[in-house]
């Protein structure tokens, strides 16, 4: 489907918006299309998480509606559970997010996005050491994923909090290479916050994007 090609292609964030428009056109042709509904929901949770939504409450309500319709017809669709887990993460409902992501991973253990997002929820719940294996696995599952830099950035933050400075620097540099404009890996902000995070032993804030 052209929409997925746009989603995984270059030109962020305009490619995301164009992919949504393609899915919307598919939904006009076939109002019952599960794939189109799930595609829209998948992209929208990313847009919300990246801070690019102009109507967060409205977009989250649309995601809930679409996921409800998808899961009613196909309750074992792994991506639907992963998207719902991401939605709950965006809403800071971390235990619910983890439950949905665990369900997604149980249905599809090779879903790198679900595995990475689960690792991110562990970071958000103050468990960076537990998050590391999931973030590493996400990279192994799909080392060429278009947003793999997010996983490297999260790994860098996890190691930073644990005091593994050399590993943290290596992962953050790799993240900067993979996603040079991504908010996870702005070098100057990492440098300013590193010493404070380590000295206070706070869990590093996990960015929305």
pLDDT at residue 186 in the model = 44
pLDDT of 200 higher than 90: no
d(CA 1, CA 128): 37
Q: What fold does the segment set 115-209 form as a domain? A: 1.25.40
Both tokens assigned to 89: 């993460």
Is 115-209 in the same CATH topology as 1-108? yes
pLDDT of 206 higher than 70: no
- Weakest-pLDDT range from 48-52, 65-69, 132-136: 48-52
Can you spell out the DSSP letters for 108-153? -TT-HHHHHHHHHHHHHTT-HHHHHHHHHHHHHH-TT-TTHHHHHH
Both tokens assigned to 144: 């060429």
Instruction: Give the class (CATH, top level) of 1-108.
Output: mainly alpha
Please report, rounded to a whole number, the percentage of residues in the chain having pLDDT higher than 70. Answer: 86
Q: Where are the domains of the chain?
A: 1-108, 115-209
Angle between helices 187-200 and 165-178 (to 10 degrees): 150
**For residues 41-64, average pLDDT:** 95
Q: Is the peptide bond before 147 cis (omega within 30 degrees of 0)?
A: no
Reported as a single tens digit per residue, the pLDDT across 166-183 is 999 999 999 998 875 544
> What are the φ and ψ backbone dihedral angles of 24, each rounded to 5 degrees?
-60, -40
Both tokens assigned to 125: 């719940």
Q: pTM of this prediction?
A: 0.84
d(CA 92, CA 166): 31
Name the average pLDDT for the chain: 88
d(CA 174, CA 180): 9
């Amino acid at each position: 489907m052209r929409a997925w090609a746009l989603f995984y292609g270059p030109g962020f964030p305009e490619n995301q918006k164009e992919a949504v428009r393609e899915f919307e056109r598919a939904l006009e042709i076939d109002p019952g299309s599960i794939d189109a509904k799930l595609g829209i929901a998948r992209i929208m949770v990313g847009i919300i998480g990246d801070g690019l939504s102009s109507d967060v409450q409205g977009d989250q309500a649309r995601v809930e509606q679409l996921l409800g319709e998808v899961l009613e017809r196909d309750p074992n669709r792994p991506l639907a559970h992963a998207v719902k887990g991401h939605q709950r993460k965006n809403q800071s409902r971390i235990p619910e997010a983890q439950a949905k992501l665990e369900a997604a991973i149980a249905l599809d253990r090779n879903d790198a996005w679900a595995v990475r997002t689960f690792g991110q929820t562990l970071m958000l719940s103050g468990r960076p050491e537990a998050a590391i294996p999931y973030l590493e696995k996400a990279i192994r599952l799909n080392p060429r994923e278009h947003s793999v830099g997010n996983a490297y950035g999260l790994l860098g933050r996890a190691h930073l909090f644990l005091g593994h400075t050399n590993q943290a620097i290596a992962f953050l540099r790799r993240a900067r290479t993979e996603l040079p404009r991504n908010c996870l890996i702005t070098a100057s902000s990492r440098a300013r916050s590193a010493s404070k995070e380590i000295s206070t032993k706070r869990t590093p804030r996990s960015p929305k994007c």
